[in-house]
Amino acid sequence: MLSQNISKVLQSWYSQHKRDLPWRHTADPFKIWISEIILQQTRVNQGLGYYQRFIERFPTVVSLASAHEDEVLKHWQGLGYYSRARNIHKTAQYIAEVYNGKFPTQHAEILKLKGIGDYTAAAISSFAFNQPFAVLDGNVFRVLSRLFGIETPIDSTLGKKEFAELAQQLIDKKDPAHHNQAIMEFGALQCVPVQPDCAVCPLQQACKAYELDLVNVLPVKASKTKVRDRYFNYFDIEFDDQLFIQKRTAKDIWQNLYELPLIEADRVFELDEIPQLELFATAGVVEIDANPLTVKHILSHQRIFARFFKVRVRVLPENLRDLISIKREELENYAISKLSSVYFEQK
């Protein structure tokens, strides 16, 4: 099947099956950019509400640029991968300063913006400005790999080059926005990762994977992500009705978010270890909750095993005097990690 025919089939299918999503009703590059960043690590049904709330609070580049980072992170809370929020905030400030608040229109300029890679630049360029740059995300990799029977690993240098060239060959240069939306939606709804319904696929006759019984084999990945285990011991310290939190400043997971005092170790602690910790050496520990909450939190590169200890003390430990002291009801004003949210939702 010729490339132009494939694009026509995809666009015809899209016209009948596309989901009604707010970012598909705008050519505003700012709103398209925000939607794409949210959807990088988030399912559409989960990201939709976050997108609507974010755009309601920050409707323009300038409004986002002028906001405090803490507020941006608070509106991002629950989405995870907070480097995305920090990047869009810094990029908005850059656009406000360098481009006078107007989003750049050229693909090459968009690609230079912090936090924007090949896929996002192509998406913004095509959806906002109808420029012929092919998108290449996980859905598109899967569609192309199966359709053309390509066994080159999609995470290899050769594979990325091969798929990028193929995607660009297929794009409808007269209507790149419609084509890009169509092929991504096709991968999201029809050519799904597991057990796609090939019987109703409009591209079945052209699909090499279907012909060669490789649908459940393709696409191929060369490597698996190495996952690191980490152990977090959090302390909810009760003293004079205060709640003590700290801001993570290291360039690590949850940077600039707030959390309870933490000791990261090579294991999660047991109850009898707590009074012996240097943290509580001058505290006069009165009571430790006998049922600490234990949570396992899985990220793309990390498995975090966390345990939350509620500790009542007579004296505030010296090494906690620099922490932020708030009332518990004030916690809603601070951006905290998903892991911390799990704990506070149960307390």
Q: Residue 181 sits in a domain of what CATH number?
A: 1.10.340.30
Determine whether 97 is an active site residue. Answer: no
Q: Bigger pLDDT: 345 or 64?
A: 64
**How many Å from the N-terminal Cα to the C-terminal Cα in the chain?**
59
The predicted model scores a pTM of: 0.83
Tell me if 51 sits within 8 A of 79, measured CB to CB: no
Strand partners, 293: 308
Collect contacts of 207-213 with beta carbons under 8 A, ≥24 apart.
Answer: 207/146, 207/147, 208/146, 208/147, 208/148, 208/149, 209/145, 209/146, 209/147, 209/149, 210/146, 211/149, 212/149
Q: Is residue 21 part of a domain?
A: yes
Which of 36, 162, 185, 259 is the catalytic position?
36
Residue 221: inside a domain: no
Q: Work out the burial of residue 340: count CB atoms within 10 Å of its CB; fewer than 13 is exposed, 13-18 middle, 19 or more buried.
A: buried
Q: Single out the residue in 211, 244, 267 at which a domain terminates.
A: 211
Taking 80 as the threshold, does the pLDDT of residue 319 lie above it?
no
Q: Residues 88-99: what's their mean pLDDT?
A: 97
CA dihedral (14, 16, 18, 24) positive or negative: positive
Domain end residue (candidates: 184, 211, 238): 211
Three-class SS state of 209 = helix
pLDDT tens for residues 188-242?
A: 999 999 999 999 999 999 999 999 999 999 999 987 778 899 999 999 998 888 8
Q: What is the mean pLDDT of the chain?
A: 92
Task: Answer yes or no: are the C-beta atoms of 83 and 55 closer than 8 Å.
Answer: no
Q: Could you give the CA distance from residue 157 to residue 264 in angstroms, rounded to a whole number?
A: 36
Question: So what's the pLDDT on residue 3?
Answer: 63
pLDDT(263) > 90: yes
Higher-pLDDT residue of 298, 24: 24
Q: Does residue 70 sit in the same domain as residue 39? A: yes
- CA distance linking residue 185 with residue 164, whole number of Å: 18
Which CATH number fits the domain that encloses residue 301? 3.90.79.10
Kindly state whether residues 265 and 124 are assigned to the same domain: no
| Shared-domain flag, residues 168 and 254 | no
Residue appearing with tokens 């109850």: 271
Note whether 242 and 185 are same-domain residues: no
Which residues constitute the domain of residue 285? Answer: 228-345
Residues 133 and 259 in one domain: no
Residues 89 and 204 in one domain: yes
Of the three residues 144, 178, 211, the one that is the final residue of a domain is 211
Indicate if the pLDDT at residue 2 is higher than 70.
Answer: no
In-domain check, residue 218: no
Phi, psi angles (nearest 5°) of residue 309: -105, 125
Residues 189 and 74 in one domain: yes
**Rounded distance between C-alpha atoms, residue 232 and residue 339, angstroms:** 10
pLDDT given for residue 340 in this prediction: 87
Question: Which has more confidence, 289 or 252?
Answer: 289
Count of structural domains, the chain: 2
pLDDT at residue 316, rounded to an integer = 79
- Answer yes or no: do 130 and 73 share one domain: yes
- Quote the pLDDT of residue 339: 85
Phi, psi of 324 (to 5 degrees): -85, 125
**Whether the Cβ atoms of residue 155 and residue 223 lie closer than 8 Å to each other:** yes
